[in-house]
Amino acid sequence: MNVQRSTLFAVNGKSNLHSSQGIAISELDSVSKLLDRRRWGLQSPATPIHQISVSPAAKGTCKEQGISKLSFLNNTRPRLGDEVSKGSSFYILRDDLLHPLVNGNKARKLDALLPLLTDLKVTDLVTCGGCQSAHTAAVAVSCAERGVRSHLLLRGEQPEVLTGYNLVSTMYGNNVEYVPRSKYANREEMLRTHADLVAGEDGSVLWTKDLEAMDGFSSSKASPRKVLIVNEGAGDALALLGMFRLVQYLSQDHLLGKKSRVKFVVDAGTGTTAVGLGVAAMSLGLPWEINAVMLADTLENYKRHEDRLLDEFTRQFLPSTVCNSLDTIKWVERQRPRKFGKVMEGEVEMCRKIAQGTGVLVDPMYTLAAWETATELVEDEKSSIVVMLHTGGTLGMFGLAQRYKSFFTNLND
């Protein structure tokens, strides 16, 4: 498994340092206050936790046999806390079960944002994503629930048949436009131009990164339209707060606790979720490691995105932190690297096997990659708890069925 380590930040505390991570106790208190004083989109940070047992079908290691030769068994009520298990199994956070349409990391990244739409009287929201973007679908549904008009810019051409997340975006979104890839490449300009059109001459436009100041909208109460721009995949510092809330919840003694070594696994589209988990674990002084499986970009671009998020987050929420060389995130290659969006032969069948054996549906583009890495870590890490975050996205299977018809037709053979 090819690994690239990434450095995150530590607190520049002068006293009362946490013995294992160099985290100031005063800073841990500020993190708690940061979370406690907010309103959230999700009623609770809780998520179902299942345990997946991994066993080879024959003698040999997992690496030698490959994931297709393994068998999986799901325990939906595992022992946690002091009785948490290490080796031969991994835990899976079933965030795919949070909401019928707004689930997985999409729900977490919108957790801190959604209440602000109401508080700041946002009238319109502009965002973007791929044709089968789970993010744009989640935004469309969440905006519709709150009476906010959503404007979705989707990359590429409109498919002949609307299905999966594309159908959800169309059903719930107020305005869906398909943007040529050449224009979509400059996302910032594309989003700003469209937001200005939506706002008109008398409206106001604000980026999510500027929301915490709350001056942009509050000073323009007479504006008929208040338009908020949300980056692709909700890739803003505000999205990291949802990960903070989740990590704080999981670190309770009756769940994963604060002392056990944890190897987290998450598939990385934009990489925002991985950065959020890493920053949260670091800030809370947890001996956790985030294994982010790179799917959609280069290592250089993931690190660039990470640097931007860290800079935004520390300025907005934790100004007393400074950069330090503490390894927290591992940017990991997928077992079978490929161009983003490509599905390889046998992967749809593997998703079916996992679903039939465990009741957990993963998709070949995102969550299967995390499942593969979690399975590999189970064999390599006997002293750590392996935990996979299910990021949802399974409705994207409908879109894949259109593109890879033969892979799905063969399921009946």
Binned at pLDDT 50, 70 and 90, residue 206 comes out as very high
- Are the C-beta atoms of 399 and 375 separated by less than 8 Å? no
- The yes-or-no verdict on residue 357 having pLDDT over 80 is yes
**Where is average pLDDT lowest: 15-19, 51-55, 139-143?**
15-19
Distance of alpha carbon 81 from alpha carbon 306, whole angstroms: 31
Binned at pLDDT 50, 70 and 90, residue 54 comes out as very high
- The yes-or-no verdict on residue 25 having pLDDT over 50 is no
Distance of alpha carbon 290 from alpha carbon 270, whole angstroms: 15
Binned at pLDDT 50, 70 and 90, residue 317 comes out as confident
Distance of alpha carbon 347 from alpha carbon 362, whole angstroms: 10
Averaged pLDDT for residues 29-44: 84
- The yes-or-no verdict on residue 94 having pLDDT over 90 is yes
Distance of alpha carbon 234 from alpha carbon 271, whole angstroms: 11
Q: Which residues contact 347 (CB under 8 A, 6 or more apart)?
A: 364, 368, 407
Q: Is 130 helix (H, G, I), strand (E, B) or coil?
A: coil
- The yes-or-no verdict on residue 13 having pLDDT over 70 is no
Cβ–Cβ contacts within 10 Å for residue 198, how many? 19
pLDDT digits (tens, 9 = 90+) for 251-267: 999 999 999 999 999 99
**Percentage of residues in the chain with pLDDT exceeding 90?**
67
68 versus 321: the higher-pLDDT residue is 68
Binned at pLDDT 50, 70 and 90, residue 318 comes out as confident
Residues for the chain: how many in total? Answer: 413
Binned at pLDDT 50, 70 and 90, residue 23 comes out as very low
Binned at pLDDT 50, 70 and 90, residue 118 comes out as very high
Average pLDDT, the chain: 87
- The yes-or-no verdict on residue 73 having pLDDT over 60 is yes
Cβ–Cβ contacts within 10 Å for residue 407, how many? 18
Binned at pLDDT 50, 70 and 90, residue 224 comes out as confident
Q: Where are the alpha helices (DSSP H) in 80-227?
A: 104-110, 114-119, 134-146, 164-172, 181-184, 187-199, 215-218
Averaged pLDDT for residues 151-173: 95
Binned at pLDDT 50, 70 and 90, residue 15 comes out as very low
**Where is average pLDDT lowest: 8-17, 312-321, 380-389, 402-411?**
8-17
